[in-house]
Chain A
Amino acid sequence: MKTRLKPWQQTLAFGSLAFVLGWTVFGLYAIWLMLTQG
């Protein structure tokens, strides 16, 4: 059984997740730049 996260821990964990997913969009943009502009 897993211990439940406290509200601030949930905020931090999901905030970090949102950040890395957002950064992934940046990564995709970088790929697009490299493919189109070399």
Chain B
Amino acid sequence: MKLSKEAREVLDAAKRHNRVSPEEDRDIEEVVALLPDDRSMLYKNVDSNPIGDFYRYSIHIRIQHLLIFSTFLLLAFTGLPIHYNMAFWAQPFNSVLGGLEVTRVIHRTLAVTMIFAMVYHVLTIGIGTLVRLRARTFEFGRTILPRLRDISDFKEDMLFFSGKRSLRPEMDKFMYKQKIHYFAAAFGNTVMVVSGSTFLFPDFWASVLPVEMASYFQEMMRLSHPHEALLALLVVAFWHWYNVHLAPGRFPMQWTYLTGKITREHQIEEHFLEYLRCIVAMPDERRYLTNLINGKKLRGARPNDRDEARPAYMGEPQGGLQAEMPD
């Protein structure tokens, strides 16, 4: 495989960070040369353990996800009978918990736990970044921060899904979809915390805002809190859960949130640049790839882009699908 400019930069950086010896360097380059240009041949043929093959998330990130999702679900579950406290089921629900005031206390306690998880998250990524900067192993491309490249990745992926391109783009540890989702969640959480705090501390907000704005702000936050909650519920139910439970390759569940690991198939398909780092850091993976490519004769498999000139050996299909069609 001839690496793209971006992939070559990632590979070279990974070699520097792992301080590879000249022998390892030769080994890595030999394996990379073996990789088929048609990456789909690779991820369709590799062995994958649904529980996970490669390390992706630290225990801190997994704890934060656990805290965020459990508090999020319980906040929605207790927030609804607070907002719609006249609904036929809300009164018995609140009574079981000890009354509306108790439901409110539970809701606020959960909110504090969620804020703790957010602070924990900011500290984790902040300290992690500082450690990497100090060790000179920080790579902007590996972070979840948006880049211009995400726009071209999105465009190329849409071309792939509409059948106009045969390969998905080479994406890094976080792809465009995950970045949108992450910042949408960060924005949503911020709106919920700020709007929720205006219910708890109206005097504080009235004292820091200009007099003419204070009551409008309070009204706006009163509207924002339930609507943002509903938006978050929709995004989680119809977007996030589709991607981690129902999407082809993830069904019935993606295990990353529990094990912190991603499958080999998923890593190659959607995070190929991160997979290159695995090739550099893991000699076992290089041996596995060499055996797989030689064993299944994947070397030389080329993409069949409709928008690119077809190589001579890939002329019109002879036999193949046509031969299998019934008369």
Interface residues of A (CB under 8 A from B): 1-3, 5, 9-10, 12-14, 16-17, 20, 23-24, 26-27, 30-31, 33-34, 37
- Could you say which residues of chain B place their CB within 8 Å of the CB of A12? 253
Q: Is the CB of A24 within 8 A of B238?
A: yes
Task: Judge whether B80 and A17 touch: CB under 8 Å.
Answer: no
Q: Which residues of B contact A23 (CB under 8 A)?
A: 73, 237
Q: Does B252 contact A14, Cβ atoms closer than 8 Å?
A: yes
* Chain A, interface SS category: helix
Binds A, one of B11-19, B44-52, B180-188: B44-52
Nearest 7 CB-CB pairs, A to B? A13-B253, A13-B252, A27-B237, A3-B49, A24-B237, A20-B241, A27-B233
Number of interface residues of B (CB under 8 A): 28
Given contacts A17-B245, A17-B253, contact A1 B48 (CB under 8 A): yes
Q: Which residue of B is nearest A18, CB measured?
A: B252
Please name 17 pairs of A and B residues whose Cβ atoms are closer than 8 Å in the assembled complex, sorted by A.
Answer: A1-B47, A2-B47, A2-B48, A2-B263, A3-B49, A9-B50, A13-B252, A16-B253, A17-B252, A17-B253, A20-B245, A23-B237, A27-B234, A27-B237, A30-B230, A33-B87, A34-B230
* B226 touches A (CB below 8 Å): yes
Q: Which residues does chain A contribute within 8 Å of B57, judged by CB atoms?
A: none
Q: Which of B244-263 contact A (CB under 8 A)?
A: 245-246, 251-253, 255, 263
In angstroms, Cα B226 to Cα A10, docked, is 36
- Complex interface: chain B residues within 8 A of A10 (CB): 252
Q: In chain B, residues 220-236, which have Cβ atoms closer than 8 Å to a Cβ of chain A?
A: 226-227, 230, 233-234, 236
A33 contacts across to B, CB distance below 8 A: 80, 84, 87
Contact between chains at B50 and A20 (CB < 8 Å): no
The answer to whether the Cβ of B76 comes within 8 Å of any Cβ in the partner chain is yes
Distance (Å) between the CB of B74 and the closest chain A CB?
A: 11
Q: Which residues of B contact A2 (CB under 8 A)?
A: 47-50, 263, 265
Which A residues are CB-close (under 8 A) to B238? 24, 27
A8, B237: Cα distance in complex, Å: 25
User: Once bound together, how far apart are the Cα atoms of A27 and B237, in whole Å?
Assistant: 7
CA distance A17 to B246 in the complex (A): 8
Assess the A31–B234 pair: CB atoms within 8 A. yes
